[in-house]
Amino acid sequence: MSHADVRSEGAALAILRSTFGFHEFRYPQADIIADVAAGRDALVLMPTGGGKSLCYQIPSLLRSGCGIVISPLIALMQDQVNALRVVGVRASCLNSTMTLDQVRAVETALLNGELDLLYVAPERLVQERTQALLARSDIALFAIDEAHCVSQWGHDFRADYLELAVLQERFPAVPRVALTATADARTRAEIVSRLELHGATQYAVSFDRPNICYRIALKDNARQQLLRFLREEHVGHCGIIYCLSRRKTEDTAAWLQQQGFEALPYHAGLSAAQRADHQARFLRGEDTIVVATIAFGMGIDKPDVRFVAHLDLPKTVEAYYQETGRAGRDGQPADAWMVYGLQDVIKLRQMMAESDAGEAHKRAEQQRLNALLGLCEINTCRRHALLHYFGEESPDACGNCDTCITPVETWDGTEAAQKAISAVYRTGQRFGVNHLIDVLRGADTAKVRQFHHQELPTFGVGVELDAKRWRSVFRQLVARAYLEVNLDRHGALVLRDECRPVLRGEETIALRVDVGKTVRRDKKRGGSIAVTDSVLWELVREHRRQLALDQGVPPYVIFHDSTLAEMVNVRPRTRLEFADLSGVGASKLEKYSEGFLGVLADYADQVPAESLS
């Protein structure tokens, strides 16, 4: 490390402490900041909640000029700007929701050197007017957030991101840092290629989010499963529930409201004003649930989301990881909960078949869906499988997923699989699951008689399993790619080459014993912040809520729950002690210490001294 880098590291640490209120960097934040501050490009892969923002915010403060942040979600920009302004950083944004006078004011501030950070939507950044503005300004760096949006193989593809290579062409001397929480090897390569980051240092931090408990179960009256999950484990918590369709988001939100929850729908069919209102209410609420399609969540900064639930399968493991990553950004216990069924698979494959994408893209999406199904049906640790997908090795058991907490019971399904595969073959690979089950169980139905399937050797050979067990067998065979859903034949099951060893008796297969009820998290493991005094906890939360209302910002912009918990547990009595709390920088110390110290002192006066020892 050069002398200049050493000085930069010292200055970066001073900003971390005085501005953001944190005492030390997480690995490898210091290295990334040193690289970018020195004018070098970087590609950063860091899990949600891992501290990506500091990797461009601090270099922007260290370097001359203004840091330009390309962010794909306009609805979040103002909240990000508000959070920076609270800690004394001169931040603003440019996007299509602003008036002409507002845009001109921001542009003037940029030209006059009055901004430290400017958030810009990608579609605005590539406009010639914006390019000309930047050419006349002193630019510290370009930060390309959610960089996986550049990948046409990815789940959040944005066409505007393809044009961001212009930054290298027009501003070759300005360092660029691309950041994402979701990118497999192919997506990383595409980011490097499309953004021309061939010389960038790549930083890949562990994808593991150990505070998240992953839980996946079969649909068995999904609404009641969800209701049990919420009432038994997440009353009074913020959360996100993902659904595949707009109508389902609205119906689910309305039903949850009837059950007494503060629930809001979010999807592209709502007006821009409704979406902005619902997102703002969610970001500012402390017990609000948003029910959304996949359009919601990219870049959500809310730290206190205690659960993410999926009522339908996402399309890929990347999408699942990105969406579940919205939970527990504060590092406290959180749940990623999902229920699914074979109908979800059929629906997703139908959507893929009807898309305008090329055949190569469709094949890649099919492979990614198969990988997600494998994660759902796995008998071993889900976290190990999830991390392995992203090329990261981990212990065989994490102790914080449903298959680790309650090991999966399996049975020798070889003979049942052979019967199921044979039924698919004997009926001509033309029929769906229900009819195949009728054939296996020897049912006398009109359809069986119409096609003379009562004459097949497989007719009635599966009476030992009921219809529910047979559905489980077929679902698991599809998930393991022994069978495939053929949408050209209205959802008929067809054979894949992978089934031949099973059919010939050369391979045995262990199948899961399906359990309709989802595994519950041990209450002792939490889902809530650990505090020593629940009464004082509610008092400091109420004080924070009032401050947030007065300032028109989400409560977490004032302080994260983790800072409040430390406040309750440590109980600082002076400004000096208050300054030692994590998340308290110089600006927040000046603005908020007196009020919170007053709440703590008033409570200490009311509570007998012996109860505080």
Least confident residue range of 140-144, 375-379, 545-549: 375-379
Count of CB atoms situated within 10 Å of the CB of 303: 17
pLDDT above 90 for 521: no
pLDDT above 60 for 298: no
E strands present in 89-210: 91-94, 117-120, 139-144, 176-180, 201-204
Per-residue confidence at 517, pLDDT binned at 50, 70, 90? low
Least confident residue range of 222-236, 294-308, 500-514, 539-553: 294-308
% of the chain with per-residue pLDDT over 70: 92
Which of these, 77, 8, 81, lies nearest to 40 by C-alpha position?
8
Paired strand residues for 66: 139
Question: Residue 159: what are its φ and ψ, rounded to 5°?
Answer: -60, -35
Predicted TM-score (pTM) above 0.85: no
pLDDT in tens, 129-152: 999 999 999 999 999 998 888 876
Helix (H) or strand (E) holding 494: strand 492-495
Q: Which residue has better confidence, 213 or 189?
A: 213
Q: What is the pLDDT of residue 464?
A: 93
Least confident residue range of 154-158, 193-197, 381-385: 154-158
- Residue 402 · residue 214 · CB < 8 Å: yes
- Residue 140 · residue 105 · CB < 8 Å: no
Per-residue confidence at 1, pLDDT binned at 50, 70, 90? very low
**How far is residue 109's CA from residue 128's CA, in Å, rounded to a whole number?**
19
Q: What is the pLDDT of residue 153?
A: 56
**What b-and-e string marks burial along 465-500, b requiring 16 or more CB atoms within 10 Å of the CB?**
beeebbbbbbbbbbbbbbbbbbeeeebbbbbeeebe
pLDDT in tens, 74-101: 767 887 898 899 999 999 999 888 889 9
Which of these, 442, 315, 408, lies nearest to 367 by C-alpha position?
315
DSSP summary character for residue 549 = H
Which of these, 405, 392, 417, lies nearest to 509 by C-alpha position?
417
User: What mean pLDDT value characterizes the chain?
Assistant: 87
Domains and CATH numbers, the chain: 3-204 (3.40.50.300), 212-405 (3.40.50.300), 410-512 (1.10.10.10), 529-612 (1.10.150.80)
